[in-house]
Structure 1
Amino acid sequence: MAHILREHAEHLYAQELEELRKSDSGKRPANWTMTPQSVVTYLLGGRLPNGFEVSPKYIGNRRLMEIAVATLTTDRALLLYGLPGTAKSWVSEHLAAAISGDSTLIVQGTAGTGEEAIRYGWNYARLLAEGPSEKALVETPVVRAMKDGKIARIEELTRIGADVQDTLITILSEKALPIPELNTEVQATRGFNIIATANNRDKGVNDLSSALKRRFNTVILPVPASMEEEIDIVQRRVESFEKVMELPAEKPALEEIRRIVTIFRELRAGLTLDGKSKLKVPSGTLSTAEAISVMNSGLAMAAYFGDGRLTAADLAAGVVGAVVKDPVQDKVVWQEYLETVVKTREDWKDIYRACRDLGI
């Protein structure tokens, strides 16, 4: 499947999933492809008894992943909550891939998402020709997950209107979906559950009703705790990007990743790493995901408009674009940081000049 731009986790990591299943001798919940312990190993990485090495998909607090996996063995759904770019969708996809072997049963939440995206819809040609019938019914990913005993994913739950969100209450509490037009219902098979993601920063989000909140167990995914942890995440994801995109560029030096992560962490915290200088904070989140994007953009620049070696000039536009989201407020924040912090660091002269030359 070399022509696929981004393979689903269950295909990309098929060998790891198979090795985990082969070495898995514990008790599996109904319709799970492996034990909860093996799901956590798949997420966090580790060495199997046969010597096979499982790569980490999530770098962070192990207990959070154990809580997330344990939640999905119960009758409560899982809500992954936190700032944008804290790997909520990434973790959701890998949980579904490991548990159900299928991460594709997904509903993308937007302001325009209607009830029919979660409950069911109708093939109107059949409906007009034949009237309400099972053949005229259009099943949603949630309904397919209920029937097959799999994990359904709902991305950006809080972007969906509150009245549509609440269509989940019956599904989560009764484990059934009434279809009054057919005088029947869909009952969930064991193994069914829902993983939803939501962030607490973007504009245009809708609070969950208290009734819906009670149906979810919430796990808050934090930003990486340490500099080294964030560098490790960025490095692994960038190497994965290089491999998939087959860029004719050298692997980025660890020092370049360190500089980008340093910029992001300092501006995010409003404080230099040494704790000596307070900084203004930009309006954006400056997440780890954005740091990965900056590195990937820089690699593309180096590969196609340079000599293949990543330089400060290749990274500058990406850094400025990530920081300056508001052309007035963030421009002031960035220029102050550039002149008072970046300029004073002896080994950062190249990135200072490259960013200054952009004239932003």
Structure 2
Amino acid sequence: MTTETTTRSSEVLRLHAEDAFAAELAALAAQDDRPRPERWRMSPWAVATYLLGGELPDGTVITPKYIGPRRIVEVAVTTLATDRALLLLGVPGTAKTWVSEHLAAAVSGDSTLLVQGTAGTPEEAVRYGWNYAQLLAAGPSRDALVPSPLMRAMADGKIARIEELTRIPADVQDSLITILSEKTLPVPELGDETQAVRGFNVIATANDRDRGVNELSSALRRRFNTVVLPLPASLDEEVDIVSRRVNQLGRSLDLPELPAGADEIRRVVTVFRELRSGITDDGRTKVKTPSGTLSTAEAISVLTNGLALATHFGDGMLRAADVAAGIVGAVVRDPAADRTVWHEYVEGVLRERDGWKDFYRAAREHTR
């Protein structure tokens, strides 16, 4: 890596996975002696180890990128080694995008072949477009064609990613069928096609709260193997996930590191889990659930913002007052209904909880 590249990397707010974890990927590839599918940077076993973490024979520690059931990762990885595409499905905040990025980085060394799904995603984003200046000047040609990320992935034998597949209009979604079933992308204007080479596959993500937005056709759904990413199973697991991500984000923002499982992290995660499930952690008290998802990703955002507040407007120590405004903002999405839910939770649960007096006071102050 050149000095210029190193300097550039140090200035980037968020590195791609293949750059941020380049040392781990290189160590895994160097010590991986298992069979690799064609054009894969490492074996399926090594890809799973990269996602789940572990220690290599030479003592290199691979940090976990995903904390959850091992079998889910194994199924996702092996799907990419077959002729079926992978659909990562789950509620918001279950690390679908994160897992997608790291899978592509480990398999292809390139996580940037990405189509972002929205209601306005055009067919050109999935298939190809044209450089209209060249098209008007010389007519259709390969030089005038602008390949989509999927077309480039097909030609290079890499993994393409599609975010929020169910937000893409149905007619655009269906342009994937030929790509996934025939492994080819016709270019009728040129009487030509791009055929996928070995190593090509697709990872799509979808939010199962979006059912009914642009539901996948049965023909398209059959081309995917669906893997559901669950919410963290336990409080300790979710605290671990949030702690790791807050510290990763904090380092990129020059914020101080929080101790693993710090008090405020555990409190925020506890509040989110109780409001999500409709019952307190001890199982004794039922609570109303707000309209929002209160995902793990939102907990990470609340705590990162709180850490920034503590750093720039406090003494650097994360306290209840630093996260109170953020947590109220995450819970109260519908000012009428959610404010009542939050007020009842604060007065009915937090007020009587041992060791939470400072958190209760901060939450109450921001609820007024």
TM norm. shorter chain > 0.5: yes
Task: Classify the secondary structure of the residue corresponding to 1:294.
Answer: helix
Counterpart position of 1:299: 307
1:1-360 counterparts in 2 under 5 A?
1-202=9-210, 205-247=213-255, 251=259, 254-360=262-368
- In 2, Cα distance between the equivalents of 1:122 and 1:241? 38
- In 2, Cα distance between the equivalents of 1:314 and 1:37? 42
Name the stretch that deviates more: 339-348 or 199-208: 199-208
Task: Classify the secondary structure of the residue corresponding to 2:160.
Answer: strand
The 1:250/1:30 distance shift into structure 2, 3 A limit, reads closer
> TM-score, normalization: structure 2?
0.96
CA shift for structure 1 position 205: 2.5
- In 1, Cα distance between the equivalents of 2:206 and 2:123? 18
Q: Deviations over 1:257-304 (max 9, x none)?
A: 111110000000000011111111111111100111111010000001
- On the 8 A contact 1:249/1:299 being kept in 2, the answer is no
- On the 8 A contact 2:114/2:163 being kept in 1, the answer is yes
The 1:149/1:218 distance shift into structure 2, 3 A limit, reads same
After TM superposition, what 4+ stretches of structure 1 lie above 2 angstroms from structure 2? 202-205, 248-253
Count of paired positions: 360
For structure 1, list consecutive stretches of 5 or more residues without a partner in the other structure.
none
CA shift for structure 1 position 250: 5.8
CA shift for structure 1 position 202: 4.2
Q: Deviations over 1:69-98 (max 9, x none)?
A: 000000000000010000000000000000
AA matched with 2:12: I
AA matched with 1:285: T
AA matched with 2:26: E
- In 2, Cα distance between the equivalents of 1:203 and 1:192? 28
- On the 8 A contact 2:94/2:229 being kept in 1, the answer is yes
CA shift for structure 1 position 200: 1.2
- On the 8 A contact 1:178/1:186 being kept in 2, the answer is yes
Q: CA RMSD in A?
A: 1.2
> TM-score, normalization: structure 1?
0.98
Task: Classify the secondary structure of the residue corresponding to 1:219.
Answer: strand
For structure 2, list consecutive stretches of 5 or more residues without a partner in the other structure.
1-8
- In 2, Cα distance between the equivalents of 1:26 and 1:250? 38
- In 1, Cα distance between the equivalents of 2:206 and 2:34? 32
Overall identity of the aligned pairs, in %:
66
